[in-house]
Amino acid sequence: MTTKIYKGNCPVIDALTIIGGKWKLPLLWHLANNQSGIRYNALKRKLDGITNIMLTRSLRELEEDGLVTRVQYPEIPPHVNYSLTEQGEKLIPALLTIKEWGEQLQESKNDWGKKASSHS
């Protein structure tokens, strides 16, 4: 994936396709931590290693998918602000669910299945 496969058939796949790019999650994460919005270059600094084109692409796609709002102030110098939409905000709790599962998975990969008999 993040190749689109069963178009429209499955909301889960749709969702994962939307957030499936390499930078989408980090991007959403930083946007979630800046509810007042954040500027392009600030975003770029936080996402260490991202190039202009990847940042622009990712932002555009998230915008088209209705997760991100872009507000442009026609000033000199230019000023563009990005923030999560309501739909974008709603995604965060879902991601936290996944996060917990991922943490459980990492724990279970450590050996501790054997020594756990102390709490019963």
Q: Residue 94, SS3? A: helix
> Is there a contact between 91 and 107 (Cβ–Cβ < 8 Å)?
no
Report d(CA 65, CA 91) in Å as an integer: 12
Kindly indicate which of the ranges 7-15, 29-37, 46-54, 93-101 contains the residues binding DNA, using the contact rule CB under 7 A: 46-54
What is the number of residues in the chain?
120
Using the rule CB under 8 A, which residue among 34, 42, 65, 81 binds a second copy?
Answer: 65
Using the rule CB under 8 A, which residue among 36, 72, 97, 118 binds a second copy?
Answer: 97
Measured from the CB atom, the residue of 49 and 93 that comes closer to DNA is: 49
Sign, CA torsion 37/42/47/49: positive
Query: What residues line the site for a second copy (CB under 8 A)?
Result: 1-3, 5-6, 10-16, 18-22, 25-26, 65-66, 87, 90-91, 93-95, 97-106, 108-109
